[in-house]
């Protein structure tokens, strides 16, 4: 049978833990409170760099780039067909593209040939302009550290937000809202 002293120590530690958890929740808030309060805040000025990208579209073989989307917010995704996380992002991205016809979408397929990019686009059903980047120069130019990376650009093509890793629907909506506000 545990001693009274041991029981008091266990009870004290438990009370301290519960108190610390409550204080953290009070000071930081839970996810729903953060999401609600974030929606009410005014957008902050965009200070990210302006991007300029152009190249050959792997689907059409024609020159294209951000200049084709002058005055529109742009969702720019850097991916590769060999990237498992990129495959995970394809379905939410395809659904998002279908719901945002007034938004421009551009992809950069990096570190592989055009044939692999064409096969990836066909397999996923994505129908967005995709720049070929076989040597990774375009990805390096925009500072990609992880695939996929999604940039949300203002109508002036300044970076409003960026997400590294697969971006699900909520992240895509939040990033686009920042781009549209910028």
What pLDDT score does 48 carry? 82
| 72-76 mean pLDDT | 97
Does residue 60 sit in the same domain as residue 131?
Answer: yes
Task: Report the DSSP beta bridge partners of residue 133.
Answer: 110
| 13-35 mean pLDDT | 41
Does residue 35 sit in the same domain as residue 60?
Answer: no
Omega within 30 of 0 (cis) for the link into 148: yes
Does residue 35 sit in the same domain as residue 102?
Answer: no
User: Could you list the residue range(s) of the whole structural domain that residue 26 is in?
Assistant: 4-40
Q: DSSP labels for 31-67?
A: HHHHHHHHHHSPPPPP-SPBP--EEEBTTT--EEEGG
Please tell me the pTM assigned to this model.
0.74
Label each residue of 132-163 as H, E or C.
Answer: EECCCHHHHHCCCCCCCEEEEECCCCEEEEEE
Does residue 14 sit in the same domain as residue 102?
Answer: no
pLDDT for 70 beyond 70? yes
Does residue 65 sit in the same domain as residue 13?
Answer: no
Tell me how far CA of residue 107 lies from CA of 13, 17, 49, 133, 159, in angstroms.
52, 47, 18, 10, 15
Whether 69 is covered by a domain: the verdict is yes
Q: Identify the three-state secondary structure at position 86.
A: helix
pLDDT digit string (tens) for 81-102? 999 999 999 999 999 999 999 9
Does residue 27 sit in the same domain as residue 81?
Answer: no
pLDDT for 29 beyond 90? no
Whether 63 is covered by a domain: the verdict is yes
> pLDDT-based confidence at 14, cuts 50/70/90?
very low
- Asked which of 8-17, 37-46, 79-88 is least confident by mean pLDDT, the reply is 37-46
Q: Give percent of the chain above pLDDT 70.
A: 74
Q: Alpha-carbon distance 69 to 147, whole Å?
A: 23
CATH code, domain carrying 138: 3.40.30.10
Please choose, from the candidates 67, 151, 78, 153, the residue with its C-alpha nearest in 3D space to the C-alpha of residue 109: 78
Count how many domains the chain has.
2
What pLDDT score does 182 carry? 84
Whether 46 is covered by a domain: the verdict is no
Angle between helices 169-181 and 84-99 (to 10 degrees): 60
């Amino acid at each position: 049978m545990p001693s009274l002293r041991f029981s008091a120590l266990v009870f004290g530690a438990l009370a301290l833990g519960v108190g610390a958890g409550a204080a953290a929740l009070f000071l930081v808030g839970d996810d729903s409170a953060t999401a609600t309060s974030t929606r009410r805040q005014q957008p902050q000025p965009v200070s990210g760099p302006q991007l300029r990208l152009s190249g050959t579209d792997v689907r059409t073989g024609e020159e294209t780039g951000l200049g084709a989307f002058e005055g529109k917010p742009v969702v720019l995704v850097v991916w590769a067909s060999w990237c498992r996380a990129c495959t995970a992002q394809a379905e939410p991205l395809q659904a998002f593209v279908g719901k945002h016809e007034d938004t421009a979408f551009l992809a950069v397929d990096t570190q592989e040939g055009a044939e692999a990019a064409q096969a990836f686009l066909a397999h996923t059903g994505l129908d967005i302009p995709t720049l070929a980047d076989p040597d990774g120069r375009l990805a390096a130019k925009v500072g990609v550290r992880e695939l996929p990376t999604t940039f949300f650009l203002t109508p002036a093509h300044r970076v409003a937000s960026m997400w590294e890793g697969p971006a699900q629907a909520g992240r895509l909506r939040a990033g686009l809202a920042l781009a549209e506000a910028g």
